[in-house]
Amino acid sequence: MGDYDIGKRLCVRYTPAQISSSGDKAGESSEIDLKLEILHAYSPFTLSVVLQVRIHSPTCSPLPPSLPSICVVKIYDRRYDTNTRHRFDKDRPYSAAKEAAYQRYLLEPRDASEEEKSIGQLGREGDDGGIEACLEEASQRFFVDERRAYEDMREVQGTHIPKLYGSIRYTSSNTFGGLGGADSFPPFVANGLILEYFPAITLKEFLDAALLTNPPLYAVISAVCDQAVAVMDRLDGFSVLNRDARLENVLVVSCPAANSDTPHTSSSSPTFPSPTYRLVAIDFACTRLRHADETDEQWRRAKQSMDERGAVGLVAQAHLGRQAGAIGETVDTARLWRYSKSARWKRTLTPKERAAYEEDPEWGLYGY
């Protein structure tokens, strides 16, 4: 397909993010056309397409003052959802045949009473049209969920999470050479987000590099891990449940941060020593907001079960231990950082409550 090759320019329609705490949205008149020049592709793509881009105005007019010229773009394009294709479709890539099956699927009449099949069942049956329909629905859901998560956490944008500048709508010709020309299929439309860019490496990469120095930077590792846990503590206070908190989704940025207009430069290790680091959590497509009718006990159990804090802190401790074992005697394991669990979402039940809970595991979930 080649939509996202380095050097390509994508024509998109841009809508600024909400900018007021009251939740007012930008009107239709604020939509503008932009061209996004692809500088770097964060491949392989998994659930979405992630790109570093330089933003151009197609009319030669200046960009909106709040929009930097270098940004990160996430596009929720089902054609590149390799994770789901690997899990449910035997790693079969998107193709012209799959798109044709999807277009036929959209035209087929359906009985509203017919039970909807899961993507797993569709994969086992080899129903390409149904699989593409599920992928399209999932891509739209990822876009909406991530945008809502950023909006809910607006007050920590630019500190604990990247800034959200706005959303985009990208229209692709969706053609395949030799398969009928430009009118083979209807234009393909995908939604996306424009986010803050900063040079960084993942927390996992940072810990690996810090351990491999001679001697290992124990104090730096501890300070960075403490800050990573502090970031998760701060995000834990919002009405967002993150199902994808992990070391790869926390970035380490050297401070002072490089100019945001500096294009991507490939680097597999940080510069040591550095006075301070900024830790930033990313990737909120696999999240949900607290439901309006969700009881405190339902939310507490959901947060305790997900344990986003432990998914970073406890996993970091385990990762350091494994890496130290692989490196050998140069690492003093007694000096490695240790994770301290939080009791924030833990609740001690009274004897009466415990008896009720043992009798009914759903006790307390529905307000009775």
Q: Would 1 be classed as within a structural domain?
A: no
Clarify whether residues 208 and 189 are in a common domain: no
Q: Are residues 270 and 167 in the same domain?
A: no
Give φ, ψ of 54 to 5 degrees.
-105, 130
Q: Is the pLDDT of residue 34 over 90?
A: yes
Closest residue by Cα to residue 169 from 8, 9, 15, 2: 15
Same domain (yes/no): 211, 330: yes
Distance CA 305, CA 206 (A): 28
pTM of the predicted structure, to 2 decimals: 0.85
Among 195, 225, 240, residue at a domain's last position: 195
308 in a domain, yes or no?
A: yes
Q: What is the pLDDT of residues 179-225, one digit of tens each?
A: 444 446 888 899 999 999 999 999 999 999 999 998 999 999 999 99
Mean pLDDT of 169-181: 64
72 and 41 in contact (C-beta within 8 Å)?
A: no
Q: Name the band, by pLDDT with cuts 50, 70 and 90, for residue 366.
A: low
Q: Are residues 137 and 283 located together in one domain of the fold?
A: no
How many domains is the chain partitioned into structurally? 2
Beta-bridge mates of residue 250? 281
- Both 189 and 206 in one domain: the answer is no
Whether 53 contacts 179, CB under 8 Å = no
Burial profile 275-293: b = 16 or more Cβ within 10 angstroms, e = fewer: eebbbbbbbbbbbbebeee
Task: Establish if 305 belongs to a structural domain.
Answer: yes
- Which of 146, 174, 195 terminates a domain? The answer is 195
Query: Considering the domain boundaries, does residue 366 fall inside one?
Result: no
Could you tell me if 236 and 99 lie in one domain? no
> Are 82 and 187 members of one domain?
yes
2 in any annotated domain: no
217/332 same-domain check: yes
Q: Which domain holds residue 42?
A: 9-195
* Mean pLDDT of all residues in 251-279: 61
The more confident residue out of 265 and 323 is: 323
Same domain, 108 and 94: yes
Longest CA span, the chain = 72
Q: Are residues 160 and 294 in the same domain?
A: no
Residue 315 or 115, more confident: 315
Last residue of one domain, picked from the residues 195, 217, 248: 195
Per-residue pLDDT at 272: 54
- Helix ranges, the chain (H): 82-88, 96-107, 119-125, 128-152, 203-212, 218-235, 296-306, 308-327, 351-359
- The DSSP code sequence of 170-204 is EEE----TTTTGGGSSPPEEEEEEEE-----EEHH
Residue 109 has pLDDT above 70, yes or no: yes
More confident residue, 194 or 177: 194
